[in-house]
Amino acid sequence: MTAIRFLAERPGAAHRLVLFPHAGGSASFYRAWAADRPDTEVLAVQYPGRADRLAEPLAHHMAELAAEAADGLGRLADGRPTTVAGHSMGAVVAFETVRLLEAEGHGVRRLVASASRSPLDPGHVSALGTAWDDEAAVSSLAAMGQTDPELLADPRVRAFLLPYLRADFELFQRYTYLPGPPLRCEVLAVHGDDDPHVPAARGALWRDVTTGPFAHAVLPGGHFYFTGRPPVGLFLGELEEVRAR
């Protein structure tokens, strides 16, 4: 099954936005991001082993996710300006996907790295810790405000969520950046000013992944700084406006 899900299929739209979920996330996380953007076709990536791909084996290496996404997006390439954005772990999957797309001649307009350290940052994986712990993972989900703590206390819910949360964590722990040509597209790094995982100086290191234009935005909030207010306008806006903030 293809990894690409259309959240708003708009063949006549001038732009395309492709969204990559965080660890444990699914394409439906971004459903609200497709509203009120008639000028933009909005897609999201569905990782295997969850939602409508629940019966499929979980991915165990970042390269698997990137290759599958690049294949799906390459098939859809039609010349429209495309912004590829990923949140947290999704930012690294998006980065590796854009590397593949550029190598195949399917350049994108922009990569948006949300709430993530750069893959060139030596501490980008160790910032998450080195060992998996079920209780810590559940507590982290609740603290991020993305899942009801009472729901997470239900053993049936935990039995459903924890396998792919664990797989995503271990996949990210195994990830190692392999040197190669820098990106040519624009890069925008965004994170919350109260995000313990991405200090401002670390977020700025994304500038080193590209020879193209770069901007860095710090917004109020924590790791999920955009809760209730999808920053689609920021992700798609001109970099000059970001720099002028």
pTM of the model: 0.91
User: How many angstroms separate the CA atoms of 104 and 211, rounded?
Assistant: 18
Q: pLDDT tens across 55-110, in order? A: 999 998 999 999 999 999 999 999 999 999 999 999 999 999 999 999 999 999 99
Active site residues: 88
Cα 169 to the center of its chain, rounded Å:
14
Contacts of 129 (CB under 8 A, 6+ apart): 136
Q: pLDDT tens across 19-60, in order? A: 999 988 899 999 999 988 899 999 999 999 888 998 999 998
Query: How far are the Cα atoms of 85, 108, 201 from residue 104, in angstroms, in the given order?
Result: 19, 11, 32
